[in-house]
Amino acid sequence: MCICVGVFRVVYKPLPDIKLLTRYSGNVNQTDGQVLSLTLPLIIYKPDTVAKPVISKTLRFTSSVRFFNTSADYSSAKQIHKCVDLKIQSIGNTPICVYDPAIDIYVSKSIIDNGNWEGDLIRLVVNIIQETPDTVFLDFGCNVGVYTLAIAKFGRQVTALDANRKNLEMLTTSLQKGNLTKMVTLIWNALSDKTETVGFKEDRKNIGGLQMVGEVSSTSFVSDENSSVAIVLDDLVPIFRNQSVFIKMDIETYELKAMLGGKQFFKEVDVKFLLMEWMHHKISDVGTGIIQFMTERGYTPFSPLQRSAPLKIKDRQLWSSDIIWVKNPMNGTWSA
């Protein structure tokens, strides 16, 4: 267990679902009617048998990071349609709670019908994690937790982030049912290029396709049901500094904003792999920005399931729906 000092900005309203992984001491200063500034020793619990994110030295930082309470009981949450087995090849099964497939026609329906979602990509991630024992898995946009549960079941520590509280309630229930709670840290935030309140743009048949809407007015009606607090990736630097990480990023067109809010993160954290959707970015200016950001930092794009040669930038409109960025691949290739 590592104890370090940090400064958090936390929303000052009843949030029983959030548990900062801390015990605090010192002064509590109210800066306005909504926000408290707390100076507290940050305690990250580290089980003896697994690698978990730790802060290795004393530091101070300010953020709106919200750690979700995985000890609370959400098993009666109204959005839970049922809990079924997630079937993970070569690893085994673990419970996963899903939505009614009528409102989640892709992810939940596939899990109910087939026992999995994106099974080939999950196997790829597991293979990479297996070959890189010091790598921590970060699941940004975890949805109901297919990747999080698979990697936790494999035995590796996961930090999973999602803007949608409903997803985290469901994932918490899945973790409890599978006895995996100690393997996963949940964060209830969106990612953007600045700290802000973001609204939700919902697809009534694809709840997993929830998109963020920025610049939500402070006078707009917002609630935990239709909005979230966006942080920047740099807010997580104190947790992962000098560690090796694998990032899965699925945040529905906000990927570039997340990267731009993480310039220091990419300097101080060893991001070895970044798996992301490309289908929204084939011809967009956002796609151009993503390519520039990643290539300037020494990353090369590959098709996840065809790793013998890198993707050609000039053919970006032909890239597969998902791509993986690899840091400094050897001789233009990489292997897991």
Stretch 101-109: mean pLDDT, rounded?
93
3-state secondary structure the chain: CEEEEEEEEEECCCCCCECCCECCCCCEEECCCCEEEEEEEEEECCCCCCCCCCCCCCCCCCCCCCEECCCCCCCCCCCCCEEEEEEECCCEEEEEEECCCCCECCHHHHHHHHCCCCHHHHHHHHHHHHHCCCEEEEEECCCCCHHHHHHHHHCCCEEEEECCHHHHHHHHHHHHHCCCHHHEEEEECEECCCCEEEEEECCCCEHHHCEEECCCCCCCCCCCCCEEEEECHHHHHHHHCCCEEEEEECCCCCHHHHHHCCHHHHHHCEEEEEEEECCCCCCCHHHHHHHHHHHHCCEEEEECCECCCCCCHHHHHHCCCEEEEEECCECCECCC
Could you read off the pLDDT of 147-204 as tens digits, one per residue? 999 999 999 999 999 999 999 999 999 999 999 999 999 999 999 999 988 876 666 6
Stretch 58-72: mean pLDDT, rounded?
75
Could you read off the pLDDT of 24-53 as tens digits, one per residue? 223 333 333 333 333 333 333 333 333 344
For residue 305, what pLDDT is reported?
Answer: 85
Could you read off the pLDDT of 194-243 as tens digits, one per residue? 998 887 666 666 566 565 566 665 545 566 667 789 999 999 999 999 99
Residue (of 127, 154, 148, 4) closest to 70 by Cα position: 148
